[in-house]
Amino acid sequence: MPALRSVRPTRSARAVAALAAALVLAAAGTAGCGDDPDRGQKQDTGKTGSTSRPPASKSASKKTSRSTPPSTSRSASPRRSPALPDALTRQRPAWSRCPAPNAAQGEDAGSPTPLPGGARWECAKLKVPLDYDKPQGKTIGVEMIRAKARKGGGKRIGSLVFNFGGPGGSGVATLPSFADDYARLRGRYDLVSFDPRGVGRSEGVNCLSDKKLDAYFAADSTPDTKNEEKGLFARQGSFADGCEKKAADRLPHLTTENTARDMDLMRHVLGDRKLHYFGISYGTELGGVYAHLYPDKVGRAVFDAVVDPTSSPVRGALSQTGGFQLALDNYLKDCASRGGSCPVGEDPEEGKQQISELLTQLDAEPLPTDSGRKLTESLAQGGIAQSLYSKDMWEMLSQGLEEAMTDRNGTTLLMLADALNGRNQNGTYSTLQSSLTAISCADAKQRYTADDIRSRLPDFTHASPVFGPMSAWGLVQCHDWPVKGQWKAPTVGAQGSDPILLVGTTGDPATPYGGTRNMKKQLGEGVGVELTYRGEGHGAYDSKDKCVRARVDGYLLNGKVPADGSTCA
């Protein structure tokens, strides 16, 4: 049963069939050799303008490009880890040509072309402790990718680290597909991203064989009887067993907090005094946890498509259910305005009913597809949800609905579902959904029973007759998980941090708009600066809205903090 994720879809230049698969992941690119970042490029301190907060400590106020080792950084966390050994804090990444994208990252989009001017993408491994409480013990490798700042763009500020969401999305695969969007930022930053621990080439988790994952995602995720409930819980137990067999030593350590600690070691090894950061979707939660642990190490930071840090899994899933229903309603209104070309008619309410009826029919009798596989109810729900992450995909949703309802063929909706589930065109799977479950269950303490779900099902169905049941039963993803979770909700308070720009989109399905305000409150007085984008889709910056771009670029490049409460329409 797939979990709806909070990750920014990527783009692909391929034809329509490949476009659906490429929404989740793009490929890492080729690269040439690069300079060691610890040896010496003079850089801007990244100090913000007059509205920024004063440094949190004397060490943070020194105007120097020398980074502070993670072991001596001030931490607001109630739990401090032992100091890291010199072997980790003094490592120098061996930047070299990136390997071809692999199945674990998602290989369908192919390798990205060189950057303007002929510059190439570079990759390197960062060694991090598997267990930060035992930093002298076993290490794992975190795969990084970068594009060095272009010449002539201005004084270099440092590295700008991206996390595109998930949890479970490969940053190494995703960053190259958005290179054009971030071209201006590369004038003053090295653009950097990474596969977080447990993802892709960073000890990625994949819990079942490809054939078993096909069956797992196709199976009924909205049980109607006690026997179907037993089947659902049995599948979740088998999934958890598979994860334990393949990754037992890693599972306890695949937490968001540990990834935040990895980012601070990355900051230090890259030679930056502060972490300049662009977090999208789940990446905003990761950024909030980093800011809590290291408020004095936060540089210019942007959180786009903001996760609500106050939500329990139930509240978060219920809010997301409403967000996807809102996006579907907006699609139906747009579709109806197109007259006879809309496959579900000119009445949005009637269209919603037709989609619900289609799902009911698929529960009884799946549709054939051109691949020979079947489109089940669960796969169709996932495919519809996938198409709502971006307004650019509404046309494909119309195509898929037309095929399913008129031609009785599920090919397009199945391709969309495959994108949600991280299935490559050759039938292999990326680590996307396995990593998402592993990280989510290492983070969250909550575990839900069938009684819990049944008691909440009316609320979910009221929020969305289309997505409600799927979202409610999705809460059992941590059933029989071999590791206890760390928290009931992440702590993101970051008093003393420099300003963090929070960008919320009113029509965002995956991270509903209300989470932006809650993140602002939790960060603490004077830290969060709110910018509203009145638009559709998951994430504002990559919508290409000129107003959003101008304000975000103004902060990241020039330290100009927008007025709190600004709006872009």
Residues involved in catalysis: 281, 508, 538
CB contact at 8 A, 508 and 323:
yes
What is the β-pairing status of strands 275-280 and 566-568? Answer: unpaired
User: If we measure between CA atoms, which residue out of 408, 397, 472, 469 comes closest to residue 23?
Assistant: 397
Structure tokens at 469: 């049941």
The gap from C-alpha 28 to its chain's centroid, in whole angstroms, comes to 16
Measure the CA–CA gap between 262 and 430, rounded to whole angstroms. Answer: 22
Cβ within 8 Å of residue 233, ≥6 positions away:
450, 476, 479, 480
Measure the CA–CA gap between 362 and 246, rounded to whole angstroms. Answer: 33
CB contact at 8 A, 284 and 147:
no
Cβ within 8 Å of residue 193, ≥6 positions away:
144, 145, 146, 161, 162, 163, 164, 171, 172, 174, 175
Neighbours of 358 (CB within 10 A): 21
Measure the CA–CA gap between 253 and 442, rounded to whole angstroms. Answer: 7
| Distances, alpha carbon 440 to alpha carbons 53, 337, 428, 487, 507, in Å | 33, 39, 23, 10, 25
What single DSSP character describes residue 526?
T
What is the β-pairing status of strands 528-536 and 500-507? Answer: parallel
Q: Where are the strands (E) in 370-488, listed by range?
A: 374-375
Structure tokens at 86: 């010199």
Measure the CA–CA gap between 213 and 435, rounded to whole angstroms. Answer: 13
Residue 59: strand, helix, or coil: helix
CB contact at 8 A, 383 and 442:
no
Structure tokens at 21: 């698969």
Measure the CA–CA gap between 212 and 6, rounded to whole angstroms. Answer: 24
Measure the CA–CA gap between 70 and 517, rounded to whole angstroms. Answer: 30
Structure tokens at 118: 């002929």
| Distances, alpha carbon 526 to alpha carbons 215, 297, 520, 530, in Å | 49, 16, 9, 11
